[in-house]
Structure 1
């Protein structure tokens, strides 16, 4: 998958999760969506990473990181009912990336 496609997918997924969260909670989703987009667009690890939470570098400011964690905790289980294909695609991409990493590690240890 191309990095641009991966970034686009990540932005769409995060935006959907944020919008879902703010339908049930007070606040402005646009602020967090814009912040997340900026972070995703400049992420130097996009090619290798699967999830931001698994990343070595936390590029979100502490306050925003806490806010996005709340969003993920709330929206993650609910998103599968709203956008099952988007969730499936995200899971597939993540598993595929993990398989690649395991193959590389195996080759390095042999």
Structure 2
């Protein structure tokens, strides 16, 4: 696993954790549904055909999530994305940079 995918994994996990904490009122751990989503997302990233040149999810030309999981992760991203700048500012800025640059 490379640096770019490691950052993507960390960002997704932070977003799911933020969503779960605010919507399911968890403290420190994910609820079962969010844990399943996190495991699924990590598995998808582990098997991403783009590897280190993976674009951010919103710009990815391949939708590798099953429709149900895709709708769940979109809900998480819609909620957590704008809030990341307040809770994890460095990760949010890095994610914006990753999304605006072409990886080689």
- Aligned-residue CA RMSD (Å): 1.7
TM-score (norm 2): 0.83
Q: Which of 63, 68, 85 is 2:68 aligned to? A: 63
TM-score (norm 1): 0.79
Q: Is the 8 A contact 2:16 2:76 kept in 1?
A: yes
Q: Which of 58, 64, 88 is 2:93 aligned to? A: 88
Name 1:18's counterpart in structure 2.
Answer: 16
Q: Which runs of no fewer than 5 residues in structure 2 stay unpaired?
A: 25-30
Aligned length: 97
Name 1:38's counterpart in structure 2.
Answer: 43
More helix by share: 1
Which protein has greater RCO, CA pairs closer than 8 Å, 6+ apart?
2
